[in-house]
């Protein structure tokens, strides 16, 4: 579902041919920018004037559509769009004014492999669980997807560099032979990542460089919470952690805590542990789809580095 972020409406007063001041509202429902290749939502309204009496002209637009005062604009190659509005009243056509909007390309997404991006460490078992490369838009006003076209899986197990080309987001089956040799550590890079955006442009995304942590060295240590088990990536689930458990968690790759308990926040137990706490109180036996979506959004925003717990962690 699209996530439109409403910007402040641009309220502009104009004196028109000796008429009383009128108010023209031209408000992009995302922000004061149009993005190429997207249907940018916009509202156009003049106070006291029916939508059917408005005459709207938009420069540098490849396509436009509207229903009432709700408009969608597909901008062209130019750096700006001008929205010029006139209206008819008593047989006259009057000028309401115009508004300028910047036109930008959709920004590059962040590539992720095994829940990691940029330069990072990755536990060996999460490397084995990784299915391929995904591209995620971060802090962007539109809900859109980039398609991974290809990339190179590059590894060094200590005996020389191996380069395996992958078409599409999934890993080439040949990668498994290399991954099996990384049990005791090594380095993995994802390079030459090509992605296709919804605006039709092909982008080369930034590389990912990962140091493989040997198996067993990033699990919870002596103070593991009760019923603690690994789910996927750096996601764990457990019963209610103690203060000592939180201190142990701070030494792992899962730096975030999602507490599903209704009346028992973790603030006092966490104390000064360098962890980020999320509290989503739910009725576990009456969990709704909304609860599930909210929890998945939190997990997604932490890039799959999180411990999810309730009271008993029994299921």
Measured distance CA(40)–CA(147) in Å, rounded: 20
Reported as a single tens digit per residue, the pLDDT across 213-269 is: 766 544 554 456 777 877 765 678 889 988 888 887 777 656 789 999 988 888 888
Higher pLDDT, 101 or 20: 101
- pLDDT tens string 132-190: 999 998 877 777 889 999 999 999 766 678 999 999 999 999 998 888 888 777 789 99
d(CA 103, CA 34): 5
Least confident of 3-17, 110-124, 143-157: 3-17
For residue 207, the cross-strand partners are none
Helix (H) or strand (E) holding 166: strand 161-167
Q: Residue 311's closest CA among 238, 228, 243?
A: 238
**Residue 272, number of CB atoms within 10 A of its CB:** 8
**5-12 contacts at long range (C-beta below 8 A, 24 or more positions apart):** 5/30, 5/31, 5/141, 7/31, 7/32, 9/43, 10/99, 12/97, 12/99
- What's the pLDDT at 278? 93
Report the run of H or E that residue 163 belongs to, with start and end.
strand 161-167
For the chain, which domains are there? 11-104 (2.60.40.1080), 110-213 (2.60.40), 229-309 (3.90.190.10)
- The answer to whether the pTM exceeds 0.75 is no
Length of the chain: 315
């Amino acid at each position: 579902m699209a996530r439109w972020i409403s910007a402040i409406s641009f309220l502009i007063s104009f004196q028109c041919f000796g008429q009383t001041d009128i108010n023209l509202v031209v408000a992009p429902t995302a922000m004061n920018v149009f993005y190429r290749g997207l249907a940018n939502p916009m509202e156009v309204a003049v106070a006291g004037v029916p939508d059917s009496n408005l005459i709207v002209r938009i420069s540098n637009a490849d396509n436009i559509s509207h229903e009432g005062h709700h408009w969608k604009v597909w901008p062209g190659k130019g750096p700006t769009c001008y929205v010029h509005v006139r209206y008819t009243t008593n047989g006259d056509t009057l000028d309401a004014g115009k508004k300028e909007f910047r036109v930008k390309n959709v920004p590059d997404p962040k590539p992720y492999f095994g829940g990691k991006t940029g330069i990072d460490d990755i536990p060996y078992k999460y490397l084995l669980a990784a299915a391929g490369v995904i591209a995620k838009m971060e802090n962007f006003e539109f809900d859109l997807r980039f398609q991974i076209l290809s990339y190179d899986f590059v590894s060094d197990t200590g005996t020389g560099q191996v380069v395996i080309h992958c078409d599409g987001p999934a890993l080439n089956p040949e990668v498994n032979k290399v991954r099996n040799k990384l049990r005791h550590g090594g380095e993995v890079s994802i390079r030459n990542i090509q992605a296709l955006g919804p605006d039709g442009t092909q982008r080369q995304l930034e590389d990912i460089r990962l140091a493989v942590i040997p198996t067993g060295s990033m699990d919870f240590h002596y103070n593991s919470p009760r019923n603690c088990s690994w789910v996927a990536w750096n996601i764990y689930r457990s019963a209610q952690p103690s203060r000592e458990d939180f201190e142990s968690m701070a030494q792992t790759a899962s730096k975030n805590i999602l507490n599903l308990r209704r009346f028992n926040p973790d603030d006092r137990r966490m104390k000064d542990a360098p962890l980020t706490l999320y509290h989503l109180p739910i009725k576990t036996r009456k969990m709704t789809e909304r609860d599930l979506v909210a929890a998945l959004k939190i997990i997604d925003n932490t890039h799959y580095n999180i411990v999810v717990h309730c009271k008993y962690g029994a299921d």
